[in-house]
Amino acid sequence: MNNWVTPARGEGADKPSDPLGLPEKTEQSKWKAELSLGLAHTKRGSVLNACRHQGPLYVQKAFYPEGRDLAHLYLLHPPGGMVSGDDLRINVTMAQAARALITTPGAGRVYKARADKTLQTQHIQLRLEPNSSVEWLPLENIIYPGAHTRLHTDIHLDVGSTFIGWEISCFGLHASQQPFDQGQIEQRLQVFSQGRLKIREALSLNPEQHNFMQSRAGLAGHSVNGLLIAGPLSKTHDTDTLLSALQAQCEALNQTDSQSQKALSAVSINDEFIQLRYLGDCSEQARLLFIRCWTLLRPALIQREACEPRIWAT
């Protein structure tokens, strides 16, 4: 998938040079990793003016494949996954009018928990000041059978700021017939606008307690769940045209004949936000659908043609 060197877990995966000190590591191998990024809009465009990290989580530099006004950032997490007790925190602050597209070079993995079932947690916080934008386009999360995890994402918008982002989650290892048949997942994504809660998407899986995964209203037997959120839309947007274009993308996917590629998707404009969903068994299929939809959303929401981050091509 990528060329990043992936040091073995716990073998000096990271040596932070900043004054925040070494990653916390106890005998039980608990990693606390935190990354705080700040972007500002200056005469030199959108620049990374704050970048502090603790533990094996960082960005190397900003890339500018489409000009200085919008930075492309790759979040690197060399261990590539979380084990029991790991706590990953990502905080991004976009100053007024700053723009960024953020992605990851590899899938995020949440491994089987230890016997004591200590939680594996990830908390992502994106703060957008007026007229800024963030595109949050990570690769999928793969949640191994037996994982005990809490994955939270909070997005705080302000006047004139725009968010386009997605979350693709693979429950279990579908290709190797290892379903998510034990463990616990608690996933939540919230969008606030000027302090008011606008969206709270929550998903909770506990296969030993209920048959949510097989249930027709739940995951309907599928193992990959995807959610794309974009907005806010305003009265100036041609929402009907945009909605029809997105619906056409979903319909094309829903009509796939191939039995192994059977999937469901749909889009709704719920108040000021677009919610587009994928339910199937292939993270790549979900990602390709979301990329096609992002290509449609981007000109409408941030007045730019799609420019795929280079790392997606590797």
Partner 1 sequence: MATPITDMQPNVAINTDDRALFRLMQLSSASLPVGGYSFSQGLEYAIDCGWLKKQAEVHEWLEMQILHAVAYVDLPALKLLMAAAKQADWQEVKRLNDLVLACRETKELRLTDTAMGEALVRLLNSLGVEQPFAHGRGSAPEAVSFISLFAIAAAHWDINYPSAALGFAWSWLENQVAAATKLVPLGQTQAQVLIGDLQPILSQALNIAEQVDEEQVGAGLPALAIASALHEQQYSRLFRS
Summarize as ranges the residues that interact with partner 1 (CB under 8 A): 188, 190-191, 196-204, 210, 212, 215-220, 222, 225, 247, 264-271, 275, 277, 279
Least distance from C-beta 184 to partner 1, angstroms?
13
Under 8 Å CB-to-CB from 264, ≥6 apart: which residues?
220, 222, 254, 277, 278, 279, 280
d(CA 263, CA 106): 23
Q: Report the alpha-carbon distance of residue 9 to residue 23 in Å, rounded.
A: 13
**Min dist. Cβ of residue 264 to partner 1 (A):** 5
**Which tokens is 201 given?**
């998407």
* Complex with partner 1: residue 266 or 306, whichever CB lies closer: 266
Q: Which is nearer to partner 1, 88 or 286 (CB)?
A: 286
Q: Which is nearer to partner 1, 77 or 222 (CB)?
A: 222
Query: Considering the complex, what minimum distance in angstroms separates the CB of residue 137 from partner 1?
Result: 20
User: Could you tell me the smallest distance in angstroms from the CB atom of residue 252 to partner 1?
Assistant: 14
Nearest alpha-carbon partner for 70 in 130, 127, 134, 131: 134
State in angstroms the smallest separation of the CB of 226 from partner 1.
9
Backbone torsions φ then ψ of 201, nearest 5 degrees: -100, 125
Which residues are within 8 A (CB) of 61 and not within 5 positions of it... i.e. 6 or more apart?
A: 48
Angle, CA of 128, 129 and 130, to the nearest 5°: 120
Gap between the Cα atoms of 310 and 314, Å rounded: 7
For residue 74, the minimal CB distance to partner 1 (Å) is 29
- CB proximity list for 141: less than 8 A, separation 6 or greater: 107, 108, 109, 110, 151, 167, 168, 169, 170
CB-wise, 221 or 299, nearer to partner 1? 221
Closest approach of partner 1 to the CB of residue 96, in Å: 25
| CA–CA gap between residue 26 and residue 161 (Å, rounded) | 41
Q: Rank residues 6 and 190 by Cβ distance to partner 1 and give the closer one.
A: 190
